[in-house]
């Protein structure tokens, strides 16, 4: 991938990040992510399909509820919205190509500022789609997914597709239509729905059943429109239990799967799982991955991590090798992502204000995933990991256990077996042994 610099270089003094190996002392180099290295039959680039997130890296300015912006972007200066957005896109493609990120993801309003005028917004987005087309063509960077932000504008304070006011819902529809048009025009491989305000603040004023039916109708309408326009990619729902809403309908993987099944959306939709959303739901990320894999619905993931000491979505960059090895075990055994990849839905801290900080953050994340991939593959190929789990269920492989699995035993049959065989011997789950096994391979 060649570095693409626009009118002006925004990340001066930083060249393209290269693989230098685990012994390198260069903080601006990869130690593990070697895009052409083959692991388990595919290159790292093909397995991991890394994407940069427009919103955190080029829009999020470090402001928090207690303080103003600390990331003062050079690309955010011009008066005219479309010209300003082009500068931002120059910065984005400079960063993506310097980082060797094969993909990117955006919300409509990340790309260009929106007004309250639907037609003007469509014009602005179209101008940036034309610009992005050139940037993609000259760099080779591709769009992993597009989405519409249906949560920031004040009109969405009571939800978008689940808003009690149909007029608001219609604006959500207009935005999704334009975002789908943009995604399709840019060859986007998937389209995401994350419903930050699709839920409630209090049940006292909420008809939950009606709102969920509206959400399903809205998703069907979006899917039907995109298919009519020739979109072949996958739609993803991104589960999150709460924040900004008190309760979100897409609570976790299991909830979303049952929603998709209930409303006949399983043919077109899969899941985009996010690490920090899993922990907010009271699950490990591994749990969410396993639920999705078991349903054949692991589409994509948003990479980040939470903070052990607080309970909100801190979106920090991933760096926990143990957690990612356990995750990669599930992803590899599950056959990888169905259409998606690993999107860095993560932000550098408010007080990380050097130009290089965004690079360090992504290098750390990409290296940790690459290392986790290698370790997980070694565990699967060379250790007893799989055998230990398979052996635990050996009693169902033949005899009465097998007959039970095949649905051939009654409750009376179970009783008869228990009487005949007396008290079972205790069999260890070997948890500590398995935890050590992961560490041996790291
Ligand atoms: C918010 C979040 C979103 C989605 C896209 O928690 O994860 O950025 O990924 O709307
Ligand atoms: Co996300």
What whole-number distance in Å separates Cα of residue 306 and Cα of residue 300? 19
Q: What is the dihedral of CA 181, 186, 191, 196, to 10 degrees?
A: -80
Residue with CA at minimum distance from ligand 1 atom 10: 194
Between the CA of residue 359 and those of 15, 69, 232, 436, what are the distances in Å?
Answer: 11, 20, 33, 33
The neighbourhood of ligand 2, an ion, using CB within 5 A, equals 274, 302, 345
Question: What secondary structure letter does DSSP report for 318?
Answer: P
Structure tokens that stand for 289 in this block = 């991955």
Instruction: Map tokens 């957690």 to a residue.
Output: 323
Binding residues for Mg(2+): 238, 274, 277, 302, 313, 315, 345
Q: Where are the alpha helices (DSSP H) in 295-430?
A: 321-333, 357-382, 385-392, 399-405, 411-421
Domain ranges in the chain are: 18-382, 385-441
Ligand 1 pocket residues where CB is under 6 Å? 107, 147, 192, 194, 238, 240, 274, 302, 313, 345
- Digit-by-digit pLDDT tens for the chain (442 residues) are 899 999 999 999 999 999 999 999 999 999 999 999 999 999 999 999 999 999 999 999 999 999 999 999 999 999 999 999 999 999 999 999 999 999 999 999 999 999 999 999 999 999 999 999 999 999 999 999 999 999 999 999 999 999 999 999 999 999 999 999 999 999 999 999 999 999 999 999 999 999 999 999 999 999 999 999 999 999 999 999 999 999 999 999 999 999 999 999 999 999 999 999 999 999 999 999 999 999 999 999 999 999 989 889 999 999 999 999 999 999 999 999 999 999 999 999 999 999 999 999 999 999 999 999 999 999 999 999 999 999 999 999 999 999 999 999 999 999 999 999 999 999 999 999 999 999 999 9
Residue 401 Cα to ligand 1 middle (Å): 44
Residue 293 Cα to ligand 1 middle (Å): 21
The CATH homologous superfamily for domain 18-382 is Divalent-metal-dependent TIM barrel enzymes (3.20.20.150)
Asked whether the whole model's pTM tops 0.85, one would answer yes
């Amino acid at each position: 991938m060649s570095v693409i610099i626009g009118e002006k270089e925004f990340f001066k003094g930083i060249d393209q990040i290269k693989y230098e190996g685990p012994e390198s002392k260069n903080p601006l180099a990869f130690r593990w992510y070697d895009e052409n290295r083959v692991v388990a039959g595919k290159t790292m680039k093909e397995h991991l399909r890394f994407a940069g997130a427009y919103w955190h890296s080029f829009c999020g300015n470090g402001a928090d509820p207690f303080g103003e912006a600390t990331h003062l972007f050079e690309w955010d200066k011009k008066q005219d919205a479309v010209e300003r957005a082009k500068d931002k896109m120059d910065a984005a493609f400079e960063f993506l190509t310097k980082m060797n990120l094969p993909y990117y993801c955006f919300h409509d309003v990340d790309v260009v500022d929106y007004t309250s005028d639907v037609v003007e917004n469509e014009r602005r987005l179209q101008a940036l789609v034309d610009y992005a087309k050139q940037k993609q063509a000259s760099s080779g960077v591709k769009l992993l997914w597009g989405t519409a932000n249906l949560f920031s504008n004040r009109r969405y304070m009571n939800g978008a597709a689940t808003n009690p006011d149909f007029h608001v819902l219609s604006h959500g529809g207009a935005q999704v239509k334009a975002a789908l048009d943009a995604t399709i025009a840019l060859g986007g491989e998937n389209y995401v729905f994350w419903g930050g305000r699709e839920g409630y603040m209090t049940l006292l004023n909420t008809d939950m059943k009606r709102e969920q039916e509206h959400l399903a109708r809205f998703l069907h309408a979006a899917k039907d429109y995109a298919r009519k326009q020739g979109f072949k990619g996958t739609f993803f729902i991104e589960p999150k239990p709460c924040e900004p809403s008190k309760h979100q309908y897409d609570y976790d993987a299991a909830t979303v799967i049952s929603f998709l099944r209930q409303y006949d959306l399983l043919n077109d939709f899969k899941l985009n799982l996010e690490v920090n959303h899993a922990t907010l739901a009271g699950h490990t990320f591994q749990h969410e991955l396993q639920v999705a894999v078991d349903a054949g619905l692991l589409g994509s993931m948003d990479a980040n991590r939470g903070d052990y000491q607080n309970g909100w979505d801190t979106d920090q960059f991933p760096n926990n090798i143990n957690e990612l090895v356990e995750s990669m075990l599930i992803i590899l055994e599950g056959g990888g992502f169905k259409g998606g990849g690993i999107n860095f839905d993560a932000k550098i801290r408010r007080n990380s204000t050097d130009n290089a900080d965004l690079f360090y953050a992504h290098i750390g994340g990409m290296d940790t995933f690459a290392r986790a991939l290698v370790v997980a593959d070694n565990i699967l190929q060379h250790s007893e990991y799989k055998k230990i789990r398979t052996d635990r269920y050996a009693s169902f492989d033949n005899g009465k256990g097998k007959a039970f699995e095949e649905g051939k035993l009654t409750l009376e049959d179970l009783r008869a077996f228990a009487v005949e065989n007396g008290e079972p011997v205790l069999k260890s789950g070997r948890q500590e042994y398995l935890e050590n096994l992961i560490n041996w391979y790291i």
